[in-house]
Structure 1
Amino acid sequence: MRAVGVTEFGGPEALSVVDVPDEPLGPGRVRVRVRAAAVSPTDTHLRSGAYAGRDPVKTPPWVPGMDAAGEVVEVGGGVDRVAVGDAVMGIVVPTGAHGGYREDLVLPAASVARVPAGADAVAASTLPMNGLTARLALDQMALPAGSVLAVTGAAGAFGGYVVQLGEADGLTVVADASEADEQLVRDLGADVVVRRGDDVAERIRAEFPDGVDGLADGSVQDALVLPAVRDRGKVATVRGYRGDGSGRVEVLPTLVRRYAENAAALDRLREQVEQGAVTLRVARTFAPEEAPEAHRVLAAGGVRGRLVITF
């Protein structure tokens, strides 16, 4: 079975097409013939060995990828969410050779959902991980309707979903953008757009002098953005940032593994795509042999939408 992975950790050039065995099915699980796997920054960290210490599998190859879409080819006992032949998307928690960049993938049934009506596998593969991360960030902050939410990195995949889901939740959204991305962020639904940069907290405070109620830090600016938030406000962070120790605001590290089997949240994301509340964005596709180039393009920055490996 073909996959894209690494036998030694390293840069993009470490990625290659490798052969991996089929995974056992088991009850409560589904086997997916993968047609598309989206590329994310998390994949680049896995490729470089950043997670080697926490991966219980110590033998190569290691296969990245947290998003996949394709068709169900087999279901285990007790599965009634999907059936053989269904087009599905799923979130993957990579372990060893079990990652999204492979042709054949076994997942818990609760980690997959039907592809949104009208979407193909490439577009659908861009939703599960970033969409669930955005949903988790908002759920952790639990801001009541009418609250003000700030989003950094709003033109990116995670940030864009937070903007759209925040709007759907009835929040007032202030988001950052470069001049080139301002219209994109407005089109995503942001109520107020400020210029991105190291002084984004000042720009947000200029619009909301009392500070915002919550902030989703998609641009990973950490301590730089905390001043934008009012006292006792909430901040959802990625990459594990836990705040400056002052306790002035509540910092909530957002770890999507907690939602990897949240079937209801994944189904709701599908429904919101079908309703037009959430937009799927594909930037470019790559063959498996072109995976190193996909990682180079991602590292260069400025990608709007997701890069996707197709099988």
Structure 2
Amino acid sequence: MRAVTVSTFGGPENVEITEAPVPGPAAGELRIRTRAAAVHPADAAVRSGAVAAYLPSLPSHRLGWDLAGTVDAVGEGVRGFRPGDEVIGLSHWFRSHNGVHAEYAVLPASAVAPAPAGVDATVAAALPLNGLTALQALDATGLTAGQTLLITGAAGNLGGLALQLATARGLDVLALAGPGDREFVTAHGGRFVDRDDLASLALLAPDGVDAVLDTALLGPALLPHLLPGTVFVAVRPTGDLPADTRLTVVDVVPDGARLAELAELVASSALTVRVDTAVPFTEAAKAHARLAGRGVRGAVVLTF
């Protein structure tokens, strides 16, 4: 089979298409014939060498966190899936080093869910990583209906899903985004906050916010605009925060059951997943270049 790999760190041009053996599923696993797979900033960080110090010493690294595809083979003990099923799934790449940017991928059945019915694979493939991260991050805030949540990067792939899930829970969402994203934010129930005018938070939330979900990695830059004791949920380790800030860093957990819940929301149009660009996986370098470009609104997806 062919796979998307990196053997020398650098720019998008360093992405390679290489040959690899077709993997077989062990007990509790599924082999999936990949139809589409999203490209994420985490993939770009591996490709560029930005996280090289944290990677195992290997001749090359196969990229890819999440996919949509068709079950091709079922390992011993798997229940609920059979060959021919359309599915989506998530590999925690930094833990497993199991990249799914390949014609075939093997995942634990517990990390897989039925694909959203009636939804194109290019859209479905962009759901698992960002959808589960958004869901688990919202859980980490501990907020309930009526409370106020500030989401940074609220028009991005992760922030946009978090915005939709948060408003569906009845939260009052202050959505920090660029000036061109006002329509997206308001259409999904958020109160728009211009990312270039953080001071306006004092007017929109004079009593402060109950929690922050920082998908834009602003970290300490937000502190002058927050009250002591605010719950702060980050998706990566952030800079120094005051001792009274209740910080949680979310590390996504593959979870097929909760992924199935998200897939049902997408299938019913209660949750929108945006796709910016879809390119054949043999042109993965173009996908990486697009991801690094300006004005990306939605997922960059490889098709197989």
TM-score when normalising by structure 1: 0.92
Match of 2:62, as an amino acid? V
Once residues 18 and 116 of structure 1 are traced to their aligned partners in structure 2, the CA distance between those partners, rounded to angstroms, is 30
Correspondence 1:232 to 2:225: no
1:187 and 2:187 correspond: yes
Unaligned runs of 5+ in 1: none
Q: Which residue of 1 aligns with 2:126?
A: 126
State the Cα distance separating 1:97 from its structure 2 match: 6.9
State whether structure 2 residue 71 is matched by structure 1 residue 75: no
Matching residue of 1:94: 93
Amino acid at match of 1:238: V
TM alignment of 1:195-274, pairs within 5 A: 195-197=194-196, 199-200=197-198, 202-241=199-238, 243-256=239-252, 259-260=253-254, 262-274=255-267
Distance in 1 of aligned mates of 2:74 and 2:213: 37
Quote the Cα distance in structure 2 between the aligned partners of 1:281 and 1:141. 25
Equivalent-residue separation in structure 1 for 2:256 and 2:142 (angstroms): 19
Q: Distance in 2 between matches of 1:100 and 1:119?
A: 20
Q: Distance in 2 between matches of 1:240 and 1:224?
A: 14
Residues 3 and 102 in structure 1, CA contact (< 8 A), matched pair in contact too: yes
Question: TM-score normalised to the size of structure 2?
Answer: 0.94
Tell whether the 8 Å contact from 1:18 to 1:61 is kept in structure 2 after alignment. no
**2: distance between equivalents of 1:277 and 1:212?**
26
1:292 aligns with 2:289: no
Partner residue, 2:15? 15
Question: 2: CA distance between counterparts of 1:272 and 1:282?
Answer: 17
* Residue aligned with 1:212, SS: coil
Q: Partners in 1 of 2:204 and 2:245 — Cα distance?
A: 19
Tell me the alpha carbon deviations over residues 39-66 of structure 1, each in whole angstroms, 9 at most, x when there is no partner. Answer: 111110011223333334x223211111
CA distance in 1, matches of 2:153, 2:241: 24
Render the CA deviation track for 1:4-23: whole Å, top value 9, x for unaligned.
11111111111011111222
- Per-residue deviation, 1:162: 0.7
C-alpha contact 2:167 2:188 (8 A) present in aligned 1: no
Task: Write the distance in 2 (CA, Å) between the matches of 1:237 and 1:293.
Answer: 29
Structure 2 equivalent of residue 59 of structure 1 = 58
Match of 1:279 in 2: 272
Q: Which residue of 2 aligns with 1:145?
A: 145
Cα offset, 1:263, TM superposition: 2.1
245 and 226 in structure 1: CA distance in 2 versus 1, 3 angstrom threshold: closer
Please tell me whether the aligned partners of residues 72 and 83 of structure 1 are also in contact (alpha carbons under 8 angstroms).
yes
Q: 1:264 is matched by which residue type in structure 2?
A: A
The 3-state SS of whatever aligns with 1:13 is helix
Alpha-carbon spacing, 1:229–1:75, altered in 2? closer, same or farther (3 Å):
farther
1:124–1:283 Cα change, 3 Å: same
- SS of the residue corresponding to residue 286 of structure 1 reads strand
- Of stretches 232-241 and 40-49 in structure 1, the one that deviates more from structure 2 is 232-241
Percent of residue pairs bearing the same amino acid type: 41
Q: Counterparts of 1:263 and 1:123 in 2: how far apart (Å)?
A: 18
Give the secondary structure class of the aligned counterpart of 2:180: coil
Task: For residue 220 of structure 1, give the secondary structure of its aligned residue in structure 2.
Answer: coil
Conserved 8 A contact 2:277-2:301: yes
Q: Is the 8 A contact 2:154 2:160 kept in 1?
A: yes
Name 1:308's counterpart in structure 2: 301
Provide the rounded CA distance (Å) in 2 between the counterparts of 1:265 and 1:230: 32
- Asked whether the equivalents of residues 4 and 291 of structure 1 are also in contact (C-alpha less than 8 Å), the reply is yes
Shift of 1:128: 0.2
Q: Secondary structure at the match of 1:46?
A: helix
Any idea what SS the aligned residue of 1:300 has? coil
| More divergent stretch after superposition (149-158 vs 264-273) | 264-273
Q: Deviations over 1:275-310 (max 9, x none)?
A: 322112111111123211211111123211101011
Secondary structure, aligned partner of 1:230: coil
Give deviations 1:203-236, integer Å, cap 9, x for gaps: 2222001211011111111111233433222111
